[in-house]
Structures are given as C-alpha cells and as structure tokens.
Structure 1
Amino acid sequence: MVDLDGDLTCKTWTVAEAAEAAGVTPDVIYQWKRRGKIKPVNERGWPRYRALDILKAEAATRERAHRAA
C-alpha cells in the first residue's frame, strides 16, 4: 500500500510504487517516461519519480480519456 499522506512534492516512488498509486501497470509508468510526461529525479540506479508528478500524469491521462476517478 502506497502512502499518500504528507508532502507529495518531496516524496519519491519506485516504478512499482508509482504504478500502484496511479492504478496502472509498471509498463504504463515506463510509457509515460518515454513520452516525456514524467522523468526520474535521480541520475543513477533504479528510477524514482516524484509522487506529485505521477499523480498529475495519471489525472491528465484520465481527463484525456474522459474517465472518472
């Protein structure tokens, strides 16, 4: 279970955590990265993404698809 409490501008998530929080598969997170919707905050190692960026990308995707939360 991903923790959505606290300051989401500073919190970072792994691909798996980001996917769980957004309700998508890890492949979608990689697609968002390739399309430039999100970018990792670290330069080396396993990618980590800013929680707020993930939630914004998910909301924008949902809005474009005309889906409700």
Structure 2
Amino acid sequence: MTATAGGEADRINLVFFALADSEAEALLAARAACLRALERAPELIAWRLSDDAADDGPGFR
C-alpha cells in the first residue's frame, strides 16, 4: 500500500504484516487500517491512498 500527498517526492511506502486466511483479506485489512489512520489523524489531512495502492504487493506485480 502506498499513501501520497502531492507529487512523487511526498510518497511513502508502508509495509503491513497480517495474519489472514488469504492474501486478498490481508490487503483489505491493510487498506482499512490506512483509511482509518487517514480519517482520524489531523496530521494526515492532506494525505490519501493512491489509486494503484490495491495493486501493490506479492502476486500483483
């Protein structure tokens, strides 16, 4: 998953480790965690998940 604010220079990559029944379930859990952080942390007001964030990770390259 990737969260961005502005151009490429403002890009960060996050790594999540999740215990899940499938890769899809783990990706959904990581995405939900990112969205909760973006909604609740005033410091992240200008940040958003990139449109390609769901395609990051093993099996999606």
| Structure-2-length-normalised TM-score | 0.34
| Structure-1-length-normalised TM-score | 0.31
Compare relative contact order (CA 8 Å, sep 6+) and give the higher one, 1 or 2: 2
Higher share in strand: 2
